[in-house]
Amino acid sequence: MTNFIIEHQCPQCGAPAELEESDRLFHCAFCRVGSYLTVPDFFRYTMPHKAPAGKRLIYYPYWRFKGMLFSCLKTSIENRFLDVSHQALNSVHFPINIGFRGQTQKLRFAAAEQQGTFLKPEVALEDVLNLWREQYSAKLPKPILHQDFIGETWSLIYAPFYLDGKVVDAVLDQPVSDAAIEHLEEGLLQPDTRQWPLTFLATLCPQCGWDLNGDRDSLALCCNNCHTVWWEKGGKLKPLKAAHVPINGEDWVYLPFWRIQADVSHIQLETYADLIKTANLPKVVQPGWDQRPFYFWNPAFKVRPQTYLTVAGNVTLNQPTDHLEAGRPKGRVHGVNLPLKEAVESLKLSLASFLRPIERRAEVIPRIEIQPRRFLLIYIPFQETHHELVQPKLNLAVSKSMLAHAKNL
Ligand SMILES: [Zn+2]
Ligand SMILES: [Zn+2]
């Protein structure tokens, strides 16, 4: 598993700092000022080079992707974790991927002032994803009813090269191959516009001015003073609708969940009574259950692919109805590091995992459409034991070491 290190400077005081790839919240060790990193589309990095002075550098673009690929089959849901890179511009003269070079190098954010030609990517990330999807699906039994990439981080990495009768890899200062090159593909060396804004937002509560808190990879920032929760939208901090199940005691840790209400086509799944039929739960429908709205519950935190659907299925089938209080809880909270968008994408897989009888899956899943309507971020308390976080009412345990490792996913 790769987690790149990125070197940069504190936007306030200029002190050198190192970030991990998944870091969003940055606290400067020198000036103590916090900032939240954001870009309008995706992060772009460069690798350092060892090219001799005077060489004209070419920065070649590679898509970099880390995430889970889920494949829904007739009676099982397969998953695999991908940590891959691929050319974002087709050429036979440059390496097809960045290989292991990124793991041994510290990256920097790509910036307009860097010397060299940054080549314009021509291959869409979608196309590269489809390539990987086909590659990993070759060995799976058919039919594949549905597939999705979930929980991904992706970025564009520019690797430096220069031309010297050969294509020379400037990271190692070694030729890519011994073959001399007459000429590169026509039109390959198109420079990009290099307009890559990188914004550091001050992490002060927009409502009360207090410092906002969160884990380094957190997508939601909490105010401990006015108990509001914030997230970045369009380059600004905006309120995030959040609630929690209140509890007293020191040994509780809150895990965040996306509770999503959605329109599901082809099957009736609007109420708790509908869920009992859809999942064939061993329960007799009680009066009023046909009035209780049905919600999908998905983890808002990263876990291993095997665990992700298990946790989502557990909470969704339990449909918690605890009394909720608005805002963040007072106790310890685990950061939100799985975006809402990813949770929404996984709803179909979640439904496939509890749809019964399982024979219905082949007929229903390929046709079904799930349209999210509204959501709420809900913090559920888990009791901390030596190795696990346990939610007694849900009969659900999450391993603490797995949660810690999942941060690199
Ligand atoms: Zn600083
Ligand atoms: Zn506040």
Q: For 47-79, give one letter per residue: b (16+ CB within 10 A) or e.
A: bebebeeebebbbbbbbbbbbbbbbbbeeebbb
In the reported structure, the alpha carbon of residue 114 is separated from the centroid of ligand 1 by a whole-number distance in angstroms of 22
pLDDT of res. 301: 95
Asked if 331 contacts 253 with a C-beta cutoff of 8 angstroms, the reply is yes
1 pLDDT tier (thresholds 50, 70, 90): low
pLDDT of res. 195: 86
In the reported structure, the alpha carbon of residue 380 is separated from the centroid of ligand 2 by a whole-number distance in angstroms of 21
| pLDDT of 406 above 90 | no
Question: Per-residue pLDDT tens for 341-350?
Answer: 999 999 999 9
Q: Which of 177, 200, 41 is nearest to 121 (CA)?
A: 41
> CB atoms < 10 A from the CB of 341, how many?
11
In the reported structure, the alpha carbon of residue 300 is separated from the centroid of ligand 2 by a whole-number distance in angstroms of 22
Q: Which ligand is nearest to the CA of 223?
A: 2
- What average pLDDT does this structure show over 254-261? 98
Amino acid 323 reads H
- What average pLDDT does this structure show over 347-362? 96
In the reported structure, the alpha carbon of residue 327 is separated from the centroid of ligand 2 by a whole-number distance in angstroms of 11
pLDDT of res. 305: 85
Q: Which ligand is nearest to the CA of 222?
A: 2
In the reported structure, the alpha carbon of residue 30 is separated from the centroid of ligand 1 by a whole-number distance in angstroms of 5
| pLDDT of 2 above 80 | no
DSSP code per residue over 334-395: ----S-HHHHHHTHHHHHHHH-SSGGGHHHHTTT--EEEEEEEEEEEEEEE-SSEEEETTTT
Question: Per-residue pLDDT tens for 205-255?
Answer: 999 999 999 999 999 999 999 999 999 999 999 999 999 999 998 899 999
| pLDDT of 405 above 80 | yes
Question: Per-residue pLDDT tens for 165-198?
Answer: 999 999 999 999 888 888 889 889 999 988 898 9
11 pLDDT tier (thresholds 50, 70, 90): confident
- Report the percent of the chain where pLDDT is more than 90: 82
In the reported structure, the alpha carbon of residue 26 is separated from the centroid of ligand 1 by a whole-number distance in angstroms of 10
| pLDDT of 104 above 80 | no
In the reported structure, the alpha carbon of residue 313 is separated from the centroid of ligand 1 by a whole-number distance in angstroms of 43
Q: What average pLDDT is seen over the chain?
A: 93
| pLDDT of 102 above 70 | no
407 pLDDT tier (thresholds 50, 70, 90): confident
Residue with tokens 């009394």: 323
In the reported structure, the alpha carbon of residue 226 is separated from the centroid of ligand 2 by a whole-number distance in angstroms of 4
Residues in CB range of 248: below 8 A, 6 or more apart: none
Comparing 58-62, 131-135, 176-180, which segment has the lowest mean pLDDT?
176-180
Q: Which ligand is nearest to the CA of 16?
A: 1
| pLDDT of 314 above 90 | yes
